[in-house]
Chain A
């Protein structure tokens, strides 16, 4: 039998490893900074680019797409060629993939802190970057699938199935969720509005966790646990059942992010049922990983690789138990919007994703550098720092989350809210925030030990750039003449299903989506009107500053919430919200009924110095909103973009929108001046300032439902706009 000689490209593996470590440390540090900002709001001063609302998306994007993303590619580029007994199909595509991905990360660093964001969680990057992500992701997929096509091992090991599912599903999720209409070069509005946008967002958000942070790491688990323990997986049969059941169930569980919202009950119930079912494949996989080590636990005592793998898989088991439990409505009612969820995700992120990544680094580095790990002792120290760090992070978040949530819901015997002042519930858990920051610091110190150890290991050896390997060639299927035609047919579904369908999908979406969605955006509440141009500008400032990272705009139908915030939120109120801004966490109170609750001057003082209106507040001061001017130039193109996604602005309104904007801004600034707020500590509050637009937006929030409110009344275009806007 002919034996082929080929090479494994270790350089690309190393590069992804370096990128994962570098961006990991950066992402962790940004996380620590925002954790500290919740304890010391004036930490690092009030610099726009370093404010909490702008850095939090940077943190989540850095750890998910830069750290975990590079870690996934690190694992795939190492294990896939070895499992296929073939080189990666195209070294050029590997290079494009690597550098393209790093450029995307760089573009995130260059946009998010500057307020260029879509506000959709884990999909914050703006439309040009979305396109770049799609291209690079397809490059990765093509390279992977072609490698599989050219394999010398007929059987596809289970890890490969997990990698394939990752590629396919993330591609579909990303495309469906990123359907947006550009207004300017760096600003777009999603095609979906309100409830629809929230649905798509959490269908994406949930499955991003499933197919970006779970399935690729399960593939990694199925490769590296057997390798590190040098024994086969506990049950290969179970791994097959695990894979197919997990991917079939996962994609239906998204609605559990929207319990008690305007989503139809049957869809909520569906999400809950599938989430509960998920526990079976998840735990099957976890046990399969852990039981592989039966009879080899003595190795776990010594080998840091196995330690990280074992704790990682155990954390996966904990998180996948929590997930289904949190999907039960009654539990969700308490945990949702609280810091419990932050604890939940970090349990997974720090130990499952982080643990498996460091296990890979400790496993692969000595092998591709043909050397030994620099210090096993240091790796063990890292392990304990990581584990203790995660515990110190997660437990205070659980504790604080439940504490705060119960305080929100507590009534006195007389039937009043026991803690009517939201701030009281925040101050209560600041010690927990401090403990969390301590835990996070421990984790980072550990990671630094890890990076040092890996670097020392690499320096003590030399990289085997092209690792030689040999394997007999796979007998080409066409050589089998008897079965020729039907073997070829059998071989085709893989090609067709994995490449062509994705391409077809894109075309299908482009044609079908706009018509299907815009038609269904017909408002169900007569009095709900589109935003005025000034409010649109203010809303974009709200998005740019990332207010939705701490404030929700979705009041659930609980008495504790309607007492605190007002009437619960209705689906019909959000029909012009491109994008929705429901948020997922209440570090501050809900804002959906903030409109007309306080005078304009209250908002002005609150933004300039939150402590002046709310003593003890941990909200940062937004002094720059009083100094910077609103971007007026882009208003016409924004109005056009919004009209094209279904907001009923009259034809030609874009031409006169700026006049409306200025008139409304003058009205607000005049009102402020008359009340003695013409200037704040020497800063002139003129109508061009961003704060004016933001106040206009905040005062509009949740007021339409109260009745005959025409926001365009009194504006120059009133007579021309009125009919068109009202009748839609």
Chain B
């Protein structure tokens, strides 16, 4: 059953990595604003130059 120790160790490592990422995210203000990110992702900024041939995708 030795492998259980190993699997738990690896699972913990993954979990701790995520925990580290979580702390980083909170500390760096990733989750300070739980409102606007959900709106902002809906807007794909169009290029301002007049003569561009391509268009960004527009949500209808």
Which residues on the A side are within 8 Å of B31 (C-beta)? 240
Q: Are A505 and B13 in contact (CB under 8 A)?
A: yes
Q: Are A498 and B28 in contact (CB under 8 A)?
A: no
Number of A interface residues in the complex (CB < 8 A): 67
Q: How far is the CA of A244 from the CA of B22 in the complex (A)?
A: 8
Q: Are B54 and A192 in contact (CB under 8 A)?
A: no
Among A226, A236, A247, the most chain B Cβ lie within 10 Å of the Cβ of: A236
Q: How far is the CA of A297 from the CA of B22 in the complex (A)?
A: 34
Q: How far is the CA of A303 from the CA of B56 in the complex (A)?
A: 21
Q: CB of A725 within 8 A of chain B?
A: no
Q: Are A267 and B4 in contact (CB under 8 A)?
A: yes
Q: A165-B18, A501-B13, A517-B6 are in contact. Are A490 and B28 (CB under 8 A)?
A: yes
Q: Are B45 and A232 in contact (CB under 8 A)?
A: no
Closest 4 CB pairs of A and B: A520-B2, A232-B38, A367-B57, A196-B3
Q: Are A471 and B13 in contact (CB under 8 A)?
A: no
Q: Are B42 and A230 in contact (CB under 8 A)?
A: yes
Could you show 21 A-B contacts with beta carbons less than 8 Å apart? A82-B44, A156-B25, A168-B14, A169-B14, A200-B7, A203-B11, A226-B38, A227-B41, A236-B35, A236-B37, A244-B18, A248-B18, A251-B11, A368-B57, A467-B54, A468-B54, A490-B27, A494-B21, A498-B21, A501-B17, A520-B3
A216-246: which have CB < 8 Å to B?
223, 226-227, 230-233, 236-237, 239-240, 244
Q: CB of A466 within 8 A of chain B?
A: yes
Q: How far is the CA of A232 from the CA of B35 in the complex (A)?
A: 9
The range of chain B's interface size is 35 or more
Q: Are B24 and A493 in contact (CB under 8 A)?
A: yes
Q: Are B10 and A172 in contact (CB under 8 A)?
A: yes
Q: How far is the CA of A366 from the CA of B38 in the complex (A)?
A: 24
Which residues on the B side are within 8 Å of A155 (C-beta)? 30, 33, 37, 40
Q: Are A497 and B17 in contact (CB under 8 A)?
A: yes
Which residues on the A side are within 8 Å of B33 (C-beta)? 155
Q: CB of A605 within 8 A of chain B?
A: no
| Interchain nearest-CB distance for B16 vs A (Å) | 9
A501-558: which have CB < 8 Å to B?
501, 505, 512-513, 516-517, 519-520
Q: Are B22 and A236 in contact (CB under 8 A)?
A: no
Which residues on the A side are within 8 Å of B52 (C-beta)? 468
Q: Are B3 and A200 in contact (CB under 8 A)?
A: yes
Which residues on the B side are within 8 Å of A367 (C-beta)? 57
Q: Are A513 and B6 in contact (CB under 8 A)?
A: yes
Instruction: Identify which of A240, A248, A469 contacts B45 (C-beta below 8 A).
Output: A469
